Chains A and B, each alone.
Chain A
Amino acid sequence: MRPDRASVQPGDDVLLSGWGGTAPSRARLTTPLNDADVGTLLDAAPERGAIARGLGRAYSDAAQNAGGMVLDMTAMAGVHAVHLGRGIVTVGAGTSLDALMRWLVPRGWFPITPGTRFVTVGGAIASDVHGKGHHADGTFGQHVRSLTLRTGGGEVLTLTPETTPERFWATVGGLGLTGVILDATFDLIPIETSLMSVDEERCRDLDDLMSRMVEGDERYRYSVAWIDCLARGASLGRGILGRGNHARLDQLPKERRRSPHRFDPKPVLVAPPFMPSGLVNTLSMRAFNELWFRKARHRHEGTLQSIGFFFHTLDMVEGWNRIYGVSGFVQYQFVVPDDAQEAVRIAVERLSGAGTASFLAVLKRFGPQNPGMLSFPTSGWTLALDIPVGNPGLPQLLDRLDDIVLGAGGRVYLSKDSRTRPEHLAQMYPRLDEFREVRAKLDPNGVITSDLARRLAL
């Protein structure tokens, strides 16, 4: 039977978790097909409120709402308007960067992209995502010209950084808590080719790695380092620095110049649907990290890599989050100011010392902070790592790292957070009260909420 198109379906009760697979909760999952549906659903939101959800790549509970409603925004996808001459596009909030890039890259344009293409534009704004290019290009939100927001209070607002700066910058990085983003208009980056020209360097320890990043990052639009968290002693913090720029047409081999914008990424592997917990352990990670480190040559310049390989390495393994098993994993990401290199060293030391397996520890230098009230990136060093849960000492270890980060004037990334202490929030995000004021005005009855908002008392 064909479902009734006249009104939005009531949805089903489902168990939802973030990408890390921890702390699942049950909610009514509804699927709005258009702006009117979002309004209908929010007007009839249950007592425990509603939150928008995209592709579920937030690591923890940002797009969950226990006992309430969750709006699956992925049906609200598609290009609404485009001015390719100027590199501006308007898309539905549920549009994935994957779909968008498959359409844009062959036309010579590129969006700000995080480490995965499988995020929606609405999610990218709500988390104010960054990528390897933050030091040069800033966050996704900084490229947004305007967005349409359906608030919990019932309004449909067009927000821009010029006309409505408070509400705009509360929404950018606002974890979806100012309302449901319906669509967004943003700027794109012109690219001559769909390939990256990449330089890779093997760095013997953390000092070596960090000093090379300080010296050379400005020569590259994109830069990120991978750290072997299991290396100790003299090679503590050894890693591989990978930096690159969009390749120019003249850098391509002749045969590739005829189709310089070819883009058709595919997953090369699919993780098995079920894995027991505990396979990712210190031993298996040590072997993996050793291989990864050895595979990089000491110095390698001008390698041509695909966009998928350079930016979205893990997307090549579909469902890679499952390798951590049913218990799941947490991602811990913090940023500390430029002068707090020591905090990064202590964090790497503590994690190496604890023998805590990490699939990837990623180090990057951020550029300046934007006006987003809860936007994560601030000028300085950011370290991100995945840790499987289940190790009894892990809560205390991460609490101690929080203390070090706070002491250094840093913060953790809320879209990834799954365990920080709510009492630290105001210190990490000094504009929290401003955010709360804007949110209270937009949503006087508290319709919009999430598990993350409850857990951190946002």
Chain B
Amino acid sequence: MNDALGSPQSVLCLGGGSEIALATVRKLVGARCRTVVLAGRDPGALTTPAKELRDLGATTVETVAFDALEVASHDAFVADVFSSHGDFDLVLLAFGVLGDQDLAETDGAEARRIVATNFIGAVSVLVPVVQALRKQGHGTIVVLSSVAGERARKSNFVYGSSKAGLDAYCQGLGDSLVGTGVRVMIVRPGFVHTKMTEGMAAAPLSTTPEVVADAIVTGLGRGSEIVWAPAPLRFVMSALRHVPRAMFRRLPV
């Protein structure tokens, strides 16, 4: 069960290789979390983080195969993982690909891969996850969105639009779940230094997985619906949202 201060005892992490997800789960294991299921495309790559979580005090850590693109398998995957572990207090949806924007502008396959992973894959797995959480009568879904979804930019609008779709879906989902005991928290990180962004020029207000993880843990404690990381991005983005198109497209962002 989630306690009064937002600490879960069990976590299902979709996208178990995500550095933000692992930084978050490490902090949760430091509090009350004892059961962790890390789901990812290559479960073999998750054995090292799994061991680390055990060393931190988690008693049950399991790695399972999960592919966001294999949408046909999602219902069975969710049914399986809930039936073998019981309740999950927290489901952390952390998978996503940045993709190659330039390639995606000319290559339909790359554009489809980005949208199919970040939006369709996420929606596809959220449907059975929500059903399972509704049945147990409690639980929190944390979804990694992005500031890129707040307003699409010419430099990464394929990724941005996929996150915009996910973000909008989760806002509606969260509202639809009021009164069910299940809640949704949307996380909108800015530029985070991870393997996903390796080699890219850092944007202003760039941050680290640790900072995003702290923001997530604080948001869980407060019962937040939307979390920005770092926090000042909320104000930056609320200004950028209103910049006229003609000016926005000239901004070096």
| A residues whose Cβ falls under 8 Å from a Cβ of B | 15, 20, 22-27, 48, 60-61, 65-68, 326-328, 330, 389-390, 392, 394-395, 398, 418-419, 421, 451, 454-455
Contact = CB atoms under 8 A, between A and B. Distances in A.
12 contacts: A22-B4, A23-B2, A66-B1, A66-B136, A67-B181, A330-B4, A389-B4, A389-B223, A390-B221, A398-B5, A419-B5, A455-B3
Contacts of B180: 15, 26
B4 A20 contact: yes
B138 A419 contact: no
B7 interface: yes
A414 to B, nearest CB: 13
B32 interface: yes
Given A25-B137, A392-B218, A454-B87, A66 B181 contact: yes
Given A15-B179, A26-B181, A330 B5 contact: yes
Contacts of B9: 455
Contacts of A455: 1, 3, 9
B45 to A, nearest CB: 31
Interface majority SS (helix, strand, loop, mixed), chain A: loop
Interface in B125-146: 134-138
A26 B137 contact: yes
B31 interface: yes
Nearest to A18: B4
A395 B181 contact: no
Interface residues of B toward A: which range?
20 to 34
Given A66-B1, A389-B4, A451-B138, A394 B181 contact: no
A15 B136 CA distance: 12
Contacts of A394: 5, 221
Given A389-B5, A389-B221, A395 B31 contact: yes
B51 interface: no
Contacts of A330: 4-5
Interface of B: 1-7, 9, 31-32, 87, 134-138, 179-182, 217-218, 221-223
Most chain A CB atoms below 10 A, which of B5, B32, B87: B5
A421 B32 contact: yes
Contacts, number: 82
B181 A15 contact: yes
Contacts of A392: 217-218, 221
Contacts of B1: 23, 25, 61, 66, 451, 454-455
Nearest to B133: A67
B181 A418 contact: no
A325 to B, nearest CB: 11
Given A25-B137, A394-B5, A419-B3, 4 more contacts: A15-B180, A67-B181, A389-B4, A394-B221
Contacts of B182: 26
Nearest to B223: A327
Contacts of A68: 137
A48 B31 CA distance: 26
Contacts of B7: 395, 419
Contacts of A421: 32
A450 B7 CA distance: 18
A89 B182 CA distance: 43
Chain B CB count within 10 A is highest, among A26, A68, A328, A454, for A26
Contact of A67 (B3, B5, B136, B218): B136
> Which one of B138, B217, B218 has the greatest number of beta carbons of chain A within 10 Å?
B138
A65 B32 CA distance: 20
A23 B221 CA distance: 10
A381 to B, nearest CB: 24
A389 B5 CA distance: 7
Nearest to A26: B181
A27 B6 CA distance: 20
Contacts of A48: 136-137
The 5 closest A-B pairs by CB, nearest first: A67-B137, A418-B4, A66-B137, A22-B4, A26-B181
Contacts of B217: 392
B4 A23 contact: yes
A26 B179 contact: yes
Contacts of A26: 134, 137-138, 179-182
Contacts of A61: 1
A326 B178 CA distance: 14
A157 B2 CA distance: 34
Nearest to A61: B1
Contact of A390 (B87, B134, B181, B222): B222
Given A15-B179, A26-B180, A66-B181, A419 B137 contact: no
A451 B1 CA distance: 7
Contacts of B136: 48, 66-67
Contacts of B218: 392
A396 to B, nearest CB: 9
A35 B252 CA distance: 72
Nearest to B59: A423
